Amino acid sequence: MTKIIRIIFVALLFSPYSAHASVYLGSKLGLSAIDYNQDLDADNDNESPLMISGIYGGFGIDIGWVSDTNQYRIFYTFEQHDTETEVYSDDNSLMMKTTDDIALHLVSAEYIFLSQRHWSPYAGIHAGFHQRETIDSQSDFYSYASSGFTYGAQTGIVGRIGNHFTLDFGMRFSALRSTAKNKKEHSNDVLKITNNMLTFIYFGANYRF
């Protein structure tokens, strides 16, 4: 994953740059999944890791700049993901059901290949931060709030419809780094989250001013 991000970064760094750019506004809608391990750092040091998997619904809003030659674009994204997640112990027994709310604030840079065609592939990188709130439907002991650094890469296809509209079909991989705090005031438990990857498959529409 790190090697792919480096390759994309080098391609963006040495790609042709145009000083003239146009503002565009876009939106995204799609499905996403999150996979990770977590350890509960509580009084019991032998607490077993929990495996979590969930399917999310996600949407986002983009605002950014695209070059006159359509070779690159740089943009800010606000994104929201919501889901119900089932948490299992290492013996595959259901421990809890939670609702998750994840907000992402990202800055992305993308290079568009074959930019003179109506349908063009693109690749890019992004970085920013996320905020997450997890609420247990059965007990507030497993309710947590967290925030942290986010980075990753994306790829897809963009199609131009006339002079102002474009359509996006893409996939993005985002690593989420955070340590969650128990929402109960008298609890000192810390949830250490590792191998945290959010995958987002989306459809988007953009308007270029």
Say how many C-beta atoms besides its own lie within 10 A of residue 55's C-beta: 11
Q: Residue 54: its pLDDT value, please? A: 64
Task: Report the alpha-carbon angle 21-119-32, nearest 5.
Answer: 90
The pTM score is 0.75
8 A C-beta contact, residue 82 and residue 100: yes
Mark residue 115 as left, alpha or beta (left: phi above 0; alpha: psi -120 to 50; beta: remaining): alpha
Q: Tell me which of 71-75, 104-108, 146-150, 188-192 is least confident.
A: 188-192
Most confident of 6-15, 81-90, 109-118, 134-143: 109-118
Say how many C-beta atoms besides its own lie within 10 A of residue 196's C-beta: 20
Q: Is the dihedral of CA 122, 163, 167, 104 positive or negative?
A: positive
Report d(CA 143, CA 47) in Å as an integer: 17
User: Given a cut of 70, is residue 180 above it in pLDDT?
Assistant: no
The tens digit of pLDDT for each residue in 82-95 reads 877 776 766 777 76
Question: Which of these, 147, 146, 141, lies nearest to 186 by C-alpha position?
Answer: 141
DSSP 36-97: EEEEEESS-TTPPPEEEEEEEEEEEEEEEEEETTSSEEEEEEEEEEEEEEEEE-TTS-EEEE
